[in-house]
A and B are shown apart, each in its own frame.
Chain A
Amino acid sequence: MAGAERVTQRQQDTNRAGLIGAALSLAAALIWPFQAWLVAALLGRLLSGEAALVWPTVAGFVALGLVRSALEAGSHAALARHADTVLATLRTEVVGGERRTLDTSSIGGPGALSALVSEKAEALRPYLMRYRPARLRATVVPLVILVLAFWNAWAVGVVLLLSGPLIPLFMALVGWAAKDASARQMDEIGSLGDLLVDRLAALADLRLIGAGKAVTDDFAEASERLRGKTMAVLRVAFLSSTVLELFAALGVAMVAVWTGFSLLEQVHWGGDVTPTTGIWLLLLAPEFFQPLRDLASAWHDKAAADAVQEELQNWRGQERAAMPGHGQGGVAITGVLALNNISLHRGDRQIHLPDLEIRPGTRIALTGPSGAGKTTLLRLLAGLERPETGELTLDGQPLADRLDDWRAGLGWMPQAPHFLARSLRYNVGFGASLGGEVAQAALGPVVQGLPKGDLTPLGERGAGLSGGEARRVTLARALHGAPQVLLADEPTADLDDDTAEAVTRGLLSHKGTLIVATHDLRLAAQMDRVIDLGDTQ
């Protein structure tokens, strides 16, 4: 429970930083009435011909300005820290969560998840740093100024009150319209981005049929169409925020006009203003509306943050199987594997596996039609599947209990590997230097053909490698570190004869247990034992 307490503690600290930041920004906003008073008082003294006290007043004004700027900076620092912690916590949560699960996420593939933790998570930052303090200021500052206005001249208070209560109403309208508009606008702009990605991805190949001009013309047209639609949405969105601004501007203008008339003694109602209070109220009036405008302009930050929060909730709500084992290496062990009455589901399909005993050093080919369970059996042995019934044991003990040590002695050759965006060397040895496996997997010529040898970075889907070359890299990785057991899934599928032969030679050069799932009869023929999984169904 200590861990959970620590998390709660950290969350509290984080929330406190957020609150402090918002409070500091509020305090900064509340300094302005004092500064404004100094300005108004100085002008008032100039008008009445008293001693103006110019320098003390200006010094006070600047000193208060210094305090205000410092409070703003403090607020920014606290809010930035708050946002940093929130984002870091969230990223750790998602990265850790993905590392611990076996099933793929329903919110999308690697690209979608990576976008969620990187740029989408960033959308929370403006929300935390701008929207929340703006909301606090919008609830307090107008009230304070309203009280000051009524205290000095009730007419000004009434003017502000009349335009004020309308503002929450308009805020609701604006927020509603803006949310709707920004959602639609985001959709439009998003789809234009997608359209560009779509064209860019196809560009290399389209160029080969001379479609360059067609692509650009077509895209320009689509782009223009989307611009029209987006502008239609934006016009409405801007209109609603303009109404808000209009009220603010008229509010200020009415305060100025009433104060002027009152000072000229053209009006005799609404309170008694002196030149000083008149100027002071004029300086305060814009600040009555400013927090509301800040809040309105931060509104789409909230909309964006809400969308991300929703996606995170979906991510959290998924029921996903945990990744067996710790996935951090162990001390290699081996022994007699035994499968006993194992069955499991693959989608709607029920798979029964035959009872088997596999002694160290045996070479086994798993054959049978697609769907017979060849890959499933290999995945079970690698600890990537859990049997629903029956048991899988190593020297009589459940394999699951010793999975990390078992995996430490495993060479694994999946059918479609994903290469890491690192060097070929790292993809084979995971940081260890390479040895005999390069020759065993006939990787030499491949490495020689690469621009930077084995330090050439491999990209998505092994960018730059042909199918056969990629397979040899996978084989070299499986052979690396001389594993005791090698599991290979269709190692020769889709390869030309030469490459298939090289891969077969590489597999046979392995000294320990070898289990291959294959359709390749030539490969199967060279194993000690062939198990046809199709027979057992």
Chain B
Amino acid sequence: MNALWQIVTLILRGQSKALLRGFALSVTVLTMGAALLGLSGWFITAASVAGLAGTGALFNVFVPSSMVRFLAMGRTAARYGERVLTHDATLRALSDLRVSLLRGLLAQPWRALERLRANAVLNRVTADVDALGGVLLRLVLPGAAGVLVVTGAGVVLAWLVHPWVGLWVAGMWLLCPTLIFVLGQRLARKPARRQEAALQAARSRMVDMVAAREDLAVYGQLSTAQRRVDDAFWREATARRALDAVERRMGFGLDMIGTLVVGGALAIGATLAEAGTLSAAQVALGALAALALGEAVAPVRRALAEVGRMTQAARRVAPSLTTVRAEPSAVAPKGVLMLDAVTSGRFAPVTVRVAPGETVALTGPSGRGKSTLLYMAAGVLLPAEGRVSLGGQAPDEEAIWRQSVVMVPQRHALIAGTVRDNLAMAGPSTDEAMLAALDSVALYDVIAAKGGLDARLGFRGTGLSGGEARRLVLARALLAQPRVLLLDEPTEGLDRETARRVMAGLRAALPDAAFLIAAHRAEDISQADCVIGLQGRAATGLKF
């Protein structure tokens, strides 16, 4: 619940104005609904009294009847406004939440961020955020509006009808649904968690079965895989049944409370009327208002069904939202890049020194730590031993380090949008600078043929071949104008001639930058001033 509360406060802070207006309208809708039914009941009963007494002509019919019409129209209008405003606020909140999630994740440790590439994790994060979108609309707003309206109605009924009636109606409608919510929420916690876990398992097992179908068939494991999917769904259904049962029992409780509140209001009122304390019209007003207030309590049911899911989502999302926003306090480092006897523990310590304008290549079999060294130089992985520095400055603050050191990893991180959008990720630049960068990586003609900087790319940069995507991310790195450029297999997927042109283009575009390259292709290595082979447990340095 703490995590959920954290999310609620975050949303409340961001959207307080829109929410306040939505809240005011929610209260109006509920109040008018209760007033409409209560007034109508009073009007008919009072009219009967006057009719029976033969004083109908003296009865002022116009005020109550126009009030009834006003409430009917006003309620409808307020309802429309409420729906528009609260949905708008929810969408704003969702948008805020997504943006803070992105910001928060950027400040997370690198490894945590890397895991996000798996589809399963991604889907989960987005589903969680979507689930949290309902926090306001189904939990906070109806809850707050319900409490206020029920309390207000209690006061009004105590004044217009009788204190006992007001106390009964407001007390019961406040206390019982709250108890049911707290109890139901607790009872649903465990099955909700089980259900969610089982559904996740089913999902990932289904992915496994379909993706590895052929291998599983050859190894005679297909039936096992199918059974495992079915098992997970079976567990999901079992947990779901438990959840349904909780929901049903709580629903039954809420229904019965409604009956008891109305019955009680009627009994108290009628008894007082028999004693002559109240008029029949007042009894009608009390009973019908009690009935109409059921609308204020109705959202408890929906909230109960969803609060479990929201709590879990909040628990997963909230930690990523805590951001430590530090303004850069030091100047961007420059000078010689030093990796001083660094190791992750999985390979022998390596010392690398790259001066401005120099190119150093790291070679060696896969799994020997080439990429790890680059990530350490990029300041996102901490070496287990040794020290990384640039001009004597350590990568303590990533924001400052990033002003000088930029890395292009093996994968091509492109996003949906135009080529310009993708290039602009490196920071604001002019079209001329962008085109020049494309030219440096021998991509100018390709992009021009596709429609220039406005050419659109699909999700994850679809629409470009592997080699084209590769060169586009290299061009983007150039636009960041780094003092140190870290490249992981930069020309993978390029033919020999293009690879050579790209490497030459990179150097020409950044003549004074230090290049540290993880490579196994001759094209990557040919321009290096120094090649360091990571071989087995010890690194050997060769000076050319």
Contacts and interface: CB of A to CB of B under 8 A. Distances in A.
Interface string A309-327: 0000000000000011111
Contact of B226 (A99, A286, A404, A414): A99
Nearest to A500: B365
Interface stretch (B420-428, B503-511, B524-532): B420-428
Interface string A400-426: 000010011010101001111110000
Chain B facing A: main interface SS: helix
Given A214-B427, A407-B218, A418-B215, A43 B271 contact: no
A52 B51 contact: no
Nearest to A259: B44
Nearest to A406: B218
A522 to B, nearest CB: 16
Nearest to B45: A43
Contact of A197 (B36, B37, B73, B126): B126
A39 to B, nearest CB: 6
A495 B248 contact: no
A231 B44 contact: no
A207 B473 CA distance: 13
Interface string B210-253: 11111111111111111001100110010011001001110110
A253 B84 CA distance: 25
Given A95-B230, A219-B98, A468-B366, A208 B266 contact: no
A328 interface: yes
A25 to B, nearest CB: 12
B430 to A, nearest CB: 16
Given A48-B52, A198-B415, A275-B48, A110 B280 contact: no
A117 B202 contact: yes
Interface string A176-201: 00000000000000001111111111
Given A99-B222, A111-B119, A242-B79, A264 B215 contact: no
A383 B44 contact: no
B239 to A, nearest CB: 11
Most buried by B among A117, A196, A327, A383: A327
A473 B194 CA distance: 32
Given A73-B248, A256-B40, A264-B51, A220 B122 contact: no
Contacts of B182: none
B118 to A, nearest CB: 5
A257 B262 CA distance: 23
A463 B208 contact: no
B220 A408 contact: yes
Contact of A196 (B59, B98, B214, B259): B98
Interface in B486-544: 486, 520
A196 B270 contact: no
B106 A207 contact: yes
Interface in B443-496: 459-460, 473, 476-477, 480, 486
Contacts of A12: none
Contacts of A223: 95, 98-99
B280 A65 contact: no
Given A66-B256, A239-B80, A257-B68, A323 B427 contact: no
Given A42-B266, A202-B415, A499-B366, A420 B212 contact: yes
A200 B366 contact: no
Contact of A46 (B83, B126, B283): B283
Given A252-B36, A404-B220, A204 B51 contact: no
B501 to A, nearest CB: 22
B378 interface: yes
Most buried by B among A95, A194, A220, A279: A95
B208 to A, nearest CB: 5
A326 B223 contact: yes
A80 to B, nearest CB: 4
B241 A84 contact: yes
Given A61-B259, A279-B41, A99 B225 contact: yes
A65 B259 contact: yes
A42 B274 CA distance: 11
B193 interface: no
Given A61-B263, A266-B61, A279-B44, A43 B280 contact: yes
Contacts of B256: 65-66, 69
Contacts of A430: 219, 221, 224
B273 interface: yes
Contacts of B9: none
Contacts of B473: 205
A261 B366 CA distance: 91
A509 interface: no
A457 B56 CA distance: 83
B197 interface: no
A382 interface: yes
Size class of the B contact interface (CB-based, 8 Å): 35 or more
Contacts of A115: 123, 203
A7 interface: no
Given A65-B259, A200-B122, A264 B59 contact: yes
Contacts of B364: 496
Contact of A65 (B127, B255, B412, B426): B255
Nearest to A469: B367
A204 B113 contact: yes
Given A47-B45, A109-B210, A499-B366, A39 B266 contact: yes
Contacts of B367: 446, 449, 466, 468-469, 499
Contacts of B115: 463
Contacts of A286: 37
Interface in A247-268: 249-250, 252-253, 256-257, 259-261, 263-266
B341 interface: no
Contacts of A282: 40-41, 44
B273 A418 contact: no
A196 B409 contact: no
B119 A203 contact: no
Contact of A209 (B45, B215, B477): B477
A414 B287 contact: no
Contacts of A467: 366
Interface in B376-427: 378, 380, 398-399, 402-403, 406-409, 411-417, 421, 424-427
B122 A201 contact: yes
A3 interface: no
Interface in A59-75: 61-62, 65-66, 68-70, 72-73
Interface string B44-79: 110111111000110101001100110111011101
A209 B106 contact: no
Contacts of B336: none
A519 interface: no
A214 B92 CA distance: 20
A444 to B, nearest CB: 13
B17 interface: no
A264 B61 contact: yes
22 contacts: A42-B266, A57-B270, A88-B234, A98-B210, A114-B203, A118-B199, A118-B203, A119-B127, A196-B98, A202-B460, A207-B110, A207-B398, A209-B480, A224-B95, A231-B84, A249-B76, A259-B44, A260-B65, A263-B48, A327-B222, A421-B205, A496-B365
Given A39-B287, A99-B213, A263-B44, 14 more contacts: A87-B237, A99-B225, A118-B199, A202-B460, A206-B413, A207-B110, A208-B408, A220-B95, A227-B91, A250-B73, A264-B59, A418-B211, A449-B367, A497-B365
Closest 5 pairs (CB-CB, A-B): A65-B259, A327-B222, A205-B413, A329-B220, A275-B48
